[in-house]
């Protein structure tokens, strides 16, 4: 076993999840993430935790959803999938597992990054809505999501497997305490601010000019640990929950939504809602997300990528949204950690991030003061105010 696999497991268990003796931990392991799964459960055993393992397979998910489509047609395996299945809206067994857990560790790394591409978007939406209670129970745990470097992910990233493996470990095996201290500066700016404005230009004219309120919100210093209200490994972003969004935003980083490649997304906001949208490719997938529920047309997150150990786009949101010189916005659910006590914030069955490159011809203002220009923060060398 590559020693970096064990280091990855130790960071996940100790720094990220902060597992303690006696904790009940649910570990979900994808098809090709077996090696990291072994290292993680070994580390959990050494720390005196109790472990329940799940098989997190996208191929199994596809089989179930396709079967449900066929059953909804009433024709069994010969159904054409036109009818939307009626899923149990309170799957008690799944919910009970997470309600009893202290922590949940999801280890991604499947065989096929587009395994569910032929499942109807309406079916995926119905399934997501039906599992709201399970999702809430899971998010009430100390949950952390990570990924094991696999050949399918390397192929998706356009990289050789060995190259991709090095890329993943460069992003994961960081000095997280030092990065947390740096990101605390950005968190302080957002916590003290009331309005953010992002402007980017393309071909000499603005393609993004969007403002959003952050008054009363608390930014999260996402330093890859539940101690920072951070739930991804790797991480390296500062995010908050904006509202009252107005203007236009362009997202030039390709992404995959519901197993569909989406490029060059343009959103128009009025009164806090998306009132118009377009995409160069994958517009139907984008429409499917925005039509999920009313909250899917509002922003749930504004995030600033600050992990410069991530140096290229890989078509994986776990990495891409953390990359330095990027800003992302997510339509859908807002994270409770950003909200004042007693406020629910934007609610939705989806949370879909979209990313824009701010390394050139861009500026981010907080209350009218430029805090980042062309990817450089005001406390960094080379910043031009």
What distance in Å separates the CA atoms of residue 107 and residue 40, rounded to the nearest whole number? 9
Q: Write down the domain spans for the chain.
A: 3-172, 177-377
pTM higher than 0.75 for the full model?
yes
Residue 382's pLDDT is 87
User: Three-state SS across 231-272?
Assistant: CECCCCEEEECCEEEEEEEEECCCEEECCEEEEEEEEEEECC
Residue 286's pLDDT is 96
Compute the average pLDDT of residues 38-50: 98
Whole-number average pLDDT of the chain: 93
Residue 75's pLDDT is 57
> What percentage of the chain reaches a pLDDT higher than 90?
81
Window from 126-130, 145-149, 201-205, 376-380 with minimum mean pLDDT: 201-205
Compute the average pLDDT of residues 255-273: 91
Architecture of the domain whose range is 3-172? 3-Layer(aba) Sandwich (3.40)
The answer to whether the CB of 65 falls within 8 A of the CB of 119 is yes
- Element containing residue 198 per DSSP (H, E): strand 195-202
Whether 79 has a pLDDT exceeding 60, the answer reads no
Whether 133 has a pLDDT exceeding 60, the answer reads yes
What distance in Å separates the CA atoms of residue 357 and residue 321, rounded to the nearest whole number? 10
Residue 81's pLDDT is 53
- For 76, the 3-state DSSP assignment is helix
């Amino acid at each position: 076993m590559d020693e970096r696999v064990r280091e990855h497991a130790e960071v996940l268990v100790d720094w990220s999840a902060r597992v303690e003796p006696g904790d009940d931990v649910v570990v979900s392991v994808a098809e090709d993430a077996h090696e990291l799964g072994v290292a993680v459960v070994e580390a959990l055993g050494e720390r005196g935790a109790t472990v329940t393992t799940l098989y997190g397979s996208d191929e199994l998910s596809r089989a179930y959803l396709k079967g449900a489509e066929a059953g909804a047609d009433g024709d069994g395996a010969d159904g054409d999938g036109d009818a939307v299945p009626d899923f149990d809206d309170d799957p008690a067994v799944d919910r009970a597992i997470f309600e009893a857990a202290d922590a949940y560790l999801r280890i991604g790394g499947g065989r096929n990054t587009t395994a569910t591409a032929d499942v109807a978007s309406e079916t995926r939406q119905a399934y997501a809505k039906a599992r709201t209670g399970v999702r809430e129970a899971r998010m009430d745990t100390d949950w952390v999501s990570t990924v094991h470097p696999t050949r399918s992910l390397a192929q998706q990233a356009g990289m050789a497997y060995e190259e991709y493996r090095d890329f993943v470990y460069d992003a994961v095996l960081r000095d997280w305490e030092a990065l947390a201290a740096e990101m605390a500066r950005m968190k302080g700016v957002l916590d003290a601010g009331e309005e953010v404005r992002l402007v980017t230009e393309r071909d000499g004219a603005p393609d993004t000019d969007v403002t959003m309120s952050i008054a009363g919100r608390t930014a999260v210093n996402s330093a890859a640990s539940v101690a920072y209200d951070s739930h991804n490994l790797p991480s390296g972003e500062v995010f908050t929950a904006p509202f009252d969004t107005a203007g236009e935003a362009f997202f030039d980083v390709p992404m995959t939504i519901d197993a569909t490649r989406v490029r060059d997304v343009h959103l128009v906001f009025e009164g806090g809602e998306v009132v118009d949208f377009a995409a160069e490719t994958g517009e139907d997938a984008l429409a499917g997300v925005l039509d999920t529920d009313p909250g899917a047309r509002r922003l749930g997150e504004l995030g600033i990528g600050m992990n410069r150990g991530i140096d290229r786009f890989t078509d994986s949101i776990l990495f891409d949204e953390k990359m330095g010189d990027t800003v992302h916005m997510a339509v859908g659910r807002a994270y409770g950690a950003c909200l004042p006590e007693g406020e629910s914030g934007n609610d939705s069955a989806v949370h879909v991030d979209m990313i824009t490159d701010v390394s050139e011809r861009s500026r981010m203002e907080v209350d009218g003061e430029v805090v980042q220009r062309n990817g450089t923060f005001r406390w960094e060398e080379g910043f031009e105010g």
